[in-house]
Structure 1
Amino acid sequence: MPTRVLSGPAPIVTPQDIAGNHAANDPTITAMIAAVQAEIDGPLGWLGRALGLQKLEYTTGVFPCRHPGSWDLVLPYPIVVAGSVVISYRDPQGADQTIAPDDYRVVSDRYVDFRRGFVLPATDCTPDAVRIVYDAGYNGTPVEEGGTGTVPENAKLAVVLGVQQLKAISAENLFLRSEEVEGIGTFQYTVSDQAGAIIRRASERFLDGLRVYS
């Protein structure tokens, strides 16, 4: 049941948040921010949570069995933007179908609850028959207004500290690679094993309370 990033994540800090004598749009600092955040954030990171706003695609072969008292479907990498979820599937005849938004709701940041009486449809016998696309991360809109709120300050501090640590070591330890998903531009950032270990040590104590264990 893989999850991939279709776009994002949006950076949760800017070069202006990083101490030092550099421009507000310094490309090297911008790349370091992206690299540090990628080590933490969403499907590519270790935190198990989405921080910067990003569009994710979760695929599975079948809809789960419904059991009384349990959630119908759990989306990985919360926090999920409730109104963004689109659930589609391939039926046994191989035709693509979409479930109407009125037939489900998102509760508690990541759980999909189907309408009472709704019958989960049969799917094609393929490992990616069910496709769920959704936005995850903090979108800046207050929770009481239906949003996911602002990025926690400890997450921002973890990224700032990680960038400061990267600046302190050789720039050769940072690698930037870009990849493109058809129809959706996206970037993937990586760092060396040495730099990744430094980032993790620097950020773990800030992020312990946010970590999602699967």
Structure 2
Amino acid sequence: MDRQVKVIEAPKPFVSWEDMKTHGKIEEESEKSYVETLVNGATTWLDGPTGWLGRSLGVQILEFSSSNWPCHVDDLPYGPVIEVISAEYVDPNGDSHSIVTEDLTDFSDMPDVRGDEGDVKIRYRAGYGVQDSDDQTKWNNVVPSPIQVAVMMLATQWYQNREGVSVGSSVDELPFAVKALIQPFRIYR
């Protein structure tokens, strides 16, 4: 886990129960809670600061903490960055300040900081999303379909194979079809 970034507001699910019923051919309504847990597990395994992809998928709020400013908004980890929500820093005298973040995209001309770890804190919204047209305070996930399919495939595999090991079959670290779908989105750090 990245110590510089923490999740302030987790993303809402971007694969629904209805999606899973269709993809996994699941008919039992009594399985809904279990299947949603599997979807959450697959999503968490891929998404955000702890995820395999090294990027944010569903819209979420992250907080970057450092001893200095990043160079640019695009340098904030686990993008895509949608917007900067707040920026705070501690000056060389030890006083805390906030920065107006409207239209903030560049950090190259920022005030001096003391330089201790955590002296710069930037909250930002990241992930694949758009603002709700009816309510500008809400965001809707628009996660690329290959990632949605990969989450459904993983959750379905786990649903159908409930044991940690399957005897008599080959074992892959990551099922080939899932890896093929998500590999183009992976960011290596």
Relative to total residues, which structure has the larger strand share, 1 or 2? 1
- Please, which runs of 5 or more residues in structure 1 have no aligned partner? 106-112, 174-194
CA distance in 1, matches of 2:29, 2:120: 45
Q: Indicate conservation of the 8 Å contact 1:79/1:148, yes or no.
A: no
Please, what is the CA RMSD of the aligned residues?
3.0
Contact 2:58–2:142 at 8 Å: present in 1 too?
A: no
Amino acid of the structure 1 residue aligned with 2:114: D
Q: How many residues align?
A: 172
For 1:12 and 1:202, locate their aligned partners in 2 and report how far apart those are by CA, in whole Å.
20
2:93 is matched with 93
Matched, 1:77 2:78: yes
Taking only the aligned residue pairs, the percentage that are identical comes to 27
Runs of 4+ that moved beyond 3 A: 195-198
Q: Deviations over 1:16-70 (max 9, x none)?
A: 1112123298211111111001110111101011111111111110125x6xxxx
Do 2:59 and 2:140's aligned partners in 1 also have CA atoms closer than 8 Å? no
1:130 aligns with 2:120: yes
Q: Deviations over 1:141-197 (max 9, x none)?
A: 49xxxx8972111010000000011112226x5xxxxxxxxxxxxxxxxxxxxx994
Contact 2:58-2:143 at 8 Å conserved across structures: yes
- Distance in structure 2 (CA, Å) of the matches to 1:44 and 1:104: 26
SS at match of 2:81: coil
Q: Is contact 1:15-1:23 (8 Å) kept?
A: no
Question: Equivalents in 2 of 1:196, 1:54: separation in Å?
Answer: 31
1:164 aligns to what SS in structure 2? helix
Q: Does 1:168 align with 2:160?
A: yes
> How many angstroms does 1:87 deviate by?
1.3
- Where do 1:133-212 residues align within 5 Å? 133-141=123-131, 150-170=142-162, 173=164, 197-198=173-174, 201-212=176-187
> What amino acid does structure 2 have at the position aligned with 1:162?
L
Partner amino acid, structure 1, of 2:90: R
Residue in structure 2 matched with residue 184 of structure 1 by the alignment: none
What is the SS of the residue equivalent to 1:5? strand
Secondary structure at 2:28 match in 1: coil
Are the equivalent residues in 2 in contact too, given 1:15–1:24 (CA < 8 A)? no
| TM-score, structure 2 normalization | 0.77
The 3 A distance-change label for structure 1 pair 209 and 25 is same
* Secondary structure, aligned partner of 2:180: helix
- Where 1:101 maps in the other structure, the secondary structure is coil
Letter in 2 for 1:88: E
